[in-house]
Amino acid sequence: MPKAHETILEINLKALRHNFEYITSKINNSTKLMVVVKAFGYGSDACVVAKYLQDLDVDYFAVAYTSEGVVLRKARITKPILVLHPQPINFKSLIDNCLEPSLYSAKVLNEFVSIASEKNQKDYPIHIKFNTGLNRLGFGKNDVDYIVSKVNETNVIKVKSLFSHLAASEDLNETYFTLNQIESFKTITKAFEGKIGYKLILHICNTSGILNYPEAHLDMVRCGIGLYGFGNSSIENKNFRPIATLKSVISQIHLIEKDETVGYNRAYKSKSFQKTATIPIGHADGIVRQYGNGNGFVIINGKQAPIIGNVCMDMLMVNITNIDCNEGDEVIIFGEHTSAENFAAATKSISYEIITAISQRIKRLIIK
Ligand SMILES: *Cc1c(COP(=O)(O)O)cnc(C)c1O
């Protein structure tokens, strides 16, 4: 790995490959793999990740919003792309880019049919989402007749898959709830397939679903966080390699006398002689203020340096009193050996939040 000379997010494709192989070792050959690359590929680089995995022949991609799918199409991602939460205002662009909508209510289904017919579509692939307990998006179990009759009255759309989303697949205390979600999804999809008369792709598992509920892999699984290197448990985390390493450098070192203060609002007051380092990353980059005042730390020459005072917009200061280091030395915020999940724990946050929060201002460096 090259030494950082500025704040940089390294994306390691060997680690991505490792995670891909681990996930595929957990699923049958007959189960398709949908790779979730929403939110810039969980803060990495959606196009790089998608291209790399397209070449490894994954079956499907998923994004949250239409604009994210358009970016993938421009980067020559040709595999099918499911848009998990498309907004009707973007349905025209969605169709123009051959993206496939998740439709989750009568309102969005009707709006999609009307725009697809204006655009003279025939058998346009759509995906129907059912709510089985997350209570976020999805049709209810009693909507099956309505959806099937709506689909049958037009040849504009064709249902390609039915899916649902688990609320707590990583939490083994919620196994009973999760098994219930899986059961109700099976009941719904059986009724749906019976009424519509053709076979659909069924999918319900995210990463933790893949790991904890092999009996629920069905026809396809949707994997996000696992590919980026997190298994959502201390045991599973060992089987993954975080693909992103956030690095920076020491811009300046200060010697602070007793009773001096550091940073805005004079939030850190020195009780004795201290040495501090200023690092060029701040809350505008996703290192939110909650990491300040001793909550979070960075790694310098293998040692923990606590973040002191308030995190600034573009910088933060750390205590390096007991660390042998110089201006220009490398700083690790998180990476393969000091995990983002651990870093996030300082603010009661989770891997998903910290890795997707790293601002687009920070350059992504792809390590092949
Ligand atoms: C984000 C998302 C996923 C991926 O979940 P991971 O836990 O990251 O694997 C799967 N399905 C839906 C509907 C999602 O929104």
Any atom of ligand 1 within 6 Å of the Cβ of 224: yes
Per-residue pLDDT tens digits for 265-316: 999 999 999 999 999 999 999 999 999 999 999 999 999 999 999 999 999 9
How are the residues of the chain apportioned to helix, strand and coil, as percentages rounded to the nearest 5?
35, 25, 40
Q: Which two tokens stand for residue 229?
A: 């290197």
Which phi and psi angles does 316 have, rounded to 5°? -145, 160
Domain ranges (residues) in the chain? 31-228, 244-367
Instruction: For residue 95, report the distance from its CA to the centre of ligand 1, in Å.
Output: 23
Instruction: For residue 304, report the distance from its CA to the centre of ligand 1, in Å.
Output: 33
Q: Which two tokens stand for residue 135?
A: 């209570």
**pLDDT score recorded for residue 316:** 98
Any atom of ligand 1 within 6 Å of the Cβ of 217: no
Which atom of ligand 1 is nearest to 206's Cα?
Answer: 9
**pLDDT score recorded for residue 128:** 98
Bridging pattern class, strands 297-300 and 330-334: antiparallel
Q: Which of 75, 72, 66, 63 is nearest to 36 (CA)?
A: 63
Per-residue pLDDT tens digits for 91-111: 999 999 999 999 999 999 999
Model confidence band, residue 39 (pLDDT cutoffs 50, 70, 90): very high
Instruction: For residue 76, report the distance from its CA to the centre of ligand 1, in Å.
Output: 23
Across the range 331-360, mean pLDDT stands at: 97
Residues identified as active-site: 38, 264
Residue nearest to atom 13 of ligand 1 (CA): 165
Residue nearest to atom 4 of ligand 1 (CA): 224
Model confidence band, residue 3 (pLDDT cutoffs 50, 70, 90): confident
Which atom of ligand 1 is nearest to 207's Cα?
Answer: 9
Q: Is pLDDT of 15 > 90?
A: yes
262 beta partners: 268
Q: What is the mean pLDDT of the chain?
A: 97
Bridging pattern class, strands 303-308 and 244-249: unpaired
Q: Is pLDDT of 41 > 80?
A: yes
Contact 320, 276 (CB under 8 A): yes
CATH node for 31-228: 3.20.20.10
Any atom of ligand 1 within 6 Å of the Cβ of 203: no
Q: Which of 69, 35, 29, 42 is nearest to 223 (CA)?
A: 35
Any atom of ligand 1 within 6 Å of the Cβ of 225: yes
Looking at CATH, the fold of the domain delimited by 244-367 is given as Lyase, Ornithine Decarboxylase; Chain A, domain 1 (2.40.37)
Any atom of ligand 1 within 6 Å of the Cβ of 247: no
Per-residue pLDDT tens digits for 179-207: 999 999 999 999 999 999 999 999 999 99
Instruction: Round to whole Å and give the CA distance between 246 and 284.
Output: 15
Instruction: For residue 206, report the distance from its CA to the centre of ligand 1, in Å.
Output: 5
Instruction: For residue 114, report the distance from its CA to the centre of ligand 1, in Å.
Output: 28
Across the range 72-86, mean pLDDT stands at: 98
Using only the alpha carbons of the chain, give its radius of gyration: 24
Any atom of ligand 1 within 6 Å of the Cβ of 165: yes
Contact 357, 2 (CB under 8 A): no
